[in-house]
Structure formats: structure tokens, C-alpha cells
């Protein structure tokens, strides 16, 4: 399964990058995880937030691999348990689907872009810093894989 995370952010803190890299290394060869960082739009130019998000959305669309299932992370998205995430990923893996996960900028994601996604998922009911969301997302993906693989990482 190919998984792409498209993240609108400035360079993330070293602790978060280290966590992401540690989990990326643990995935098996048939679960390829790639992170594409896109620079957020400049917010100092006095543009309206909806204009900024629309420009960011154009860049995100251009970065999405062709034919990919697209899921946006959103505070109003579906709450998933680790098992439910694992089951969904297994379905897509078995169907040879590619998955792209979107992490928005400080103002989130464009509403039209979110409407075009296959699903909206939430990482937490809390508001979290971007770096933490990225690390938590990669850990959740690894945990989901470990459930299906029967790996002892996940315990219930």
C-alpha cells in the first residue's frame, strides 16, 4: 500500500521529525509511506483566509497522486478507533488502493477541497500543534498496520 501524507507546514520541530522517521522505518516494504511538505501561503499579505485556503488547495490537488483515495484530517471528521482504522486500511490495501492524507495549514483546509475527499478523519478532539498531528498520524498508521499483522505493538 502506498500512503502519502501531504502536509502544509513550515519545517517541523526535530523531536517530531525524529518520531515520524522512527515509525516510517518500522513499516514493511509493501507499506510505503511518503510525506510531501508544502509551504503554507503567506498570511502577511492581507488576503482573506478563504483566498489563502483556496490557493493552498490548488497546490494540494496538484500534489495528490493520481487515483488516490483522499482523506482530510479535520476537527469535525469521523472518529476512528485503532481497530476501525486498521480495518479500513486493510480494505484499501487489499484493493491495491493508494491513500493520501491531508494535513492543513494553521487555518485548516479549504471547504471545497474537503468536500471532494473520500472521507474526513479526526486525530483528536483537542486542538494540537501541526508537528504533533503529523507524529500522531504516522504512529496511528503504524499501529493500524501492526493490528492487521498480528504484531505485538498494539495491545487491547
DSSP string, 42-109: PSSS---HHHHHHHHHHHHHHHSPTT-EEEEEEEEEE---HHHHHHHHHHHHHTT--EEEEE-BTTB-
Q: Work out the angle between the directed axes of helices 14-26 and 130-149 (0-180°, nearest 10).
A: 20
Question: Is 52 marked as a binding-site residue?
Answer: no
CATH number of the domain within which 122 lies: 3.40.1280.10
Structurally, how many domains does the chain consist of?
Answer: 1
Domain interval for residue 104: 2-149
pTM of the model: 0.94
Residue 156 has pLDDT above 80, yes or no: no
Please give the full DSSP string across 75-86, using - where no structure is assigned: EEEE---HHHHH
Question: Is 77 marked as a binding-site residue?
Answer: no
Provide the pLDDT for residue 44: 81
Residues 83, 146: Cα–Cα separation, whole Å? 10
64 inside domain? yes
Question: Is 100 marked as a binding-site residue?
Answer: no
Question: Is 124 marked as a binding-site residue?
Answer: yes
Residue 30 has pLDDT above 80, yes or no: yes
Question: Is 123 marked as a binding-site residue?
Answer: yes
Cα Rg, the chain, nearest whole Å: 15
Provide the pLDDT for residue 22: 95
Sheet of strand 99-103: strand arrangement? 32-38, 2-8, 99-103, 69-78, 119-121
- Residue 67, by phi and psi: left (phi above 0), alpha (psi -120 to 50) or beta? left
Residue 15, SS3 per DSSP: helix
Binned at pLDDT 50, 70 and 90, residue 43 comes out as confident
24 inside domain? yes
pLDDT tens column, 44-82: 878 899 999 999 999 999 999 999 999 999 999 999 999
- Tell me the average pLDDT of the chain: 93
155 inside domain? no
Question: Is 128 marked as a binding-site residue?
Answer: yes
Binned at pLDDT 50, 70 and 90, residue 89 comes out as very high
DSSP state for residue 29 in the 8-state scheme: T
Question: Is 64 marked as a binding-site residue?
Answer: no
Question: Is 109 marked as a binding-site residue?
Answer: no
**121 φ, ψ (degrees, to nearest 5):** -120, 150
Amino acid at each position: 500500500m502506498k500512503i502519502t501524507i501531504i502536509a502544509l507546514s513550515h519545517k517541523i520541530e526535530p523531536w517530531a521529525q525524529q518520531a515520524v522517521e522512527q515509525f516510517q522505518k518500522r513499516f514493511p516494504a509493501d507499506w510505503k509511506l511518503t510525506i510531501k511538505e508544502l509551504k503554507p501561503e503567506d498570511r502577511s499579505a492581507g488576503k482573506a483566509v478563504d483566498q489563502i485556503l483556496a490557493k493552498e488547495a490548488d497546490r494540494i490537488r496538484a500534489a495528490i497522486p493520481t487515483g488516490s483515495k483522499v482523506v482530510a484530517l479535520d476537527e469535525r471528521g469521523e472518529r476512528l478507533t485503532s481497530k476501525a482504522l486498521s480495518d479500513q486500511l486493510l480494505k484499501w490495501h487489499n484493493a491495491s488502493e493508494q491513500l493520501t492524507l491531508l494535513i492543513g495549514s494553521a487555518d485548516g483546509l479549504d471547504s471545497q477541497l474537503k468536500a471532494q475527499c473520500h472521507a474526513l478523519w479526526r486525530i483528536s478532539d483537542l486542538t494540537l500543534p501541526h508537528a504533533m498531528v503529523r507524529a500522531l498520524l504516522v504512529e496511528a498508521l503504524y499501529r493500524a498496520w501492526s493490528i492487521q499483522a498480528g504484531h505485538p505493538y498494539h495491545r487491547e
